[in-house]
Amino acid sequence: MTLRILLTGAAGFIGARVHRALTAAGHEVIATDLMLPAAHGPDAPAPDGVHRVDVRDRDALAPLLPGVDVVCHQAAVVGAGVSVADAPAYAAHNDLGTAVLLAAMAGAGCSRLVLASSMVVYGEGRYRTPGGDIVEVGQRDRADLAAGHFDQRSAGADLDWALVPEEAPLRPRSLYAASKVAQEHYAAAWVAATGGSVTALRYHNVYGPDMPRDTPYSGVAAIFRSALEAGQPPLVFEDGAQARDFVHVTDVAAANLAAVERPLPGFTALNVCSGHPITIGAVAAVLAEARGGPTPVVTGEFRPGDVRHIVASPEAARRLLGFTARVRPEQGLAEFAFAPLRLAAGAGAPTL
């Protein structure tokens, strides 16, 4: 069945891949992007077939929505938030933009949304004691970090990570995370008010060709890649044992296609991850080996707000969407070592 899809953020790193996946599957895609310099570089033109539209502008959205079966909402200001001054940009573009889009959808009679969310909504990951009990944790003690003790602790014992399920509490630890939680809450309230449906895809660490390079908002894989290109060793914080899940952008696009084609009732949040955990130190090592060095340097430095481990369960996405990631991190990262990257402004979050 051919669907008519409104895709926001269609020129971005992830949005462009989603655009390709949707069109390759035979769907009709109405593509939009605001073309913010922070994501696309200064004065970047919209690609062919992409409408330059601000999702905060309901009048601009209204003519695009009639007859749309589902909206795939990728547009967002991304990153962990380098400065508290970034907060208005996250609130304006991510939260107000989502609220305006939802209102416009309701006005046009469009009842389905696929929302790009993020694993950052969880804050810290999930932890278990040596005896296997799941325990709640808070922010790590700065004195422990300064002493080189990086693991979470409970009752004096170091904790190991456990898989984070979708029902885990939402505890944002950054400005960006707060905006993603707000997006999910607006979407869930919209479902309750309209009877529509939302599938929120909580992306884990996304990487792949055309990832932005050399900005404070780049992912760690791109930062390591840029260091290696410059002949410098990747600098790994803490002890390098921080566990994450790196998911290739082509798999993220496949998850969006599955969510578009398989409606789920109500509000459903799903982890989108590879299912193959990897440490930050191993990410640096794979990239360095692929490029022939230099060898990564584990610095022991830390950032107080950083999360120790966050690794998710892919089971719900497999069960409900039939989605399983195909690219294992070791394979994808080795290929990423020489993949083309995109230039971006890199000066910070966009202004309002």
Say whether pLDDT at 3 is over 50: yes
Q: Crossing angle, helix 329-336 and helix 220-229, to 10 degrees?
A: 40
Reported confidence tier of residue 280, pLDDT bands at 50, 70, 90: very high
Percentage of the chain lying above the pLDDT 90 cut? 86
Dump pLDDT digits (tens) for 132-155.
999 999 989 999 999 999 999 998
Catalytic residues: 176
* Tokens coding 137: 């944790």
Reported confidence tier of residue 37, pLDDT bands at 50, 70, 90: confident
Instruction: List all residues 6 or more positions away from 130 whose beta carbon is below 8 Å from its beta carbon.
Output: 157, 158, 160
Specify the pLDDT at position 156.
Answer: 87
Specify the pLDDT at position 164.
Answer: 97
Sheet holding 4-8, edge to edge: 50-52, 28-33, 4-8, 70-73, 112-118, 197-203, 267-272
d(CA 40, CA 30): 20
Nearest CA to 260 out of 5, 11, 80 is that of 5
Q: What is the mean pLDDT of the chain?
A: 94
Say whether pLDDT at 242 is over 90: yes
Beta bridge partners of 153: 158
How many residues does the structure list for the chain? Answer: 352
Q: Report the sign of the C-alpha dihedral through residues 260, 40, 291, 205, in that order.
A: negative
Say whether pLDDT at 291 is over 50: yes
Q: Write the CA distances from 125 to 50, 206, 275, 281, 306, integer angstroms.
A: 37, 17, 15, 18, 11
Helix (H, G, I), strand (E, B) or coil at 118: strand
- DSSP letter for each residue of 60-111: HHGGG-TT-SEEEE-----SS-SSGGGHHHIIIIIIIHHHHHHHHHHHHT--
**Pairing status of strand 197-203 against strand 297-298:** unpaired
Q: Report the sign of the C-alpha dihedral through residues 317, 320, 321, 323, in that order.
A: positive
Summarize the chain as % helix, strand, coil (round to 5). Answer: 35, 20, 45
Strand ranges, E, within the chain = 4-8, 28-33, 50-52, 70-73, 112-118, 126-128, 134-135, 153-154, 157-158, 160-162, 197-203, 205-207, 235-236, 243-244, 246-248, 267-272, 278-279, 297-298
Say whether pLDDT at 352 is over 70: no
Environment class of 144 (CB within 10 Å of its CB; exposed 0-12, middle 13-18, buried 19+): middle
Instruction: List all residues 6 or more positions away from 119 whose beta carbon is below 8 Å from its beta carbon.
Output: 164, 202, 203, 204, 205, 245, 271, 273, 310, 312
* Mean pLDDT, range 118-130, rounded to an integer: 95
Beta bridge partners of 244: 278
* Mean pLDDT, range 331-347, rounded to an integer: 84
Reported confidence tier of residue 207, pLDDT bands at 50, 70, 90: very high
Say whether pLDDT at 345 is over 70: no
d(CA 285, CA 291): 10
Dump pLDDT digits (tens) for 300-332.
999 878 999 999 999 999 999 999 999 999 999
**pTM to 2 decimal places:** 0.96
Least confident window among 94-98, 103-107, 337-341: 337-341
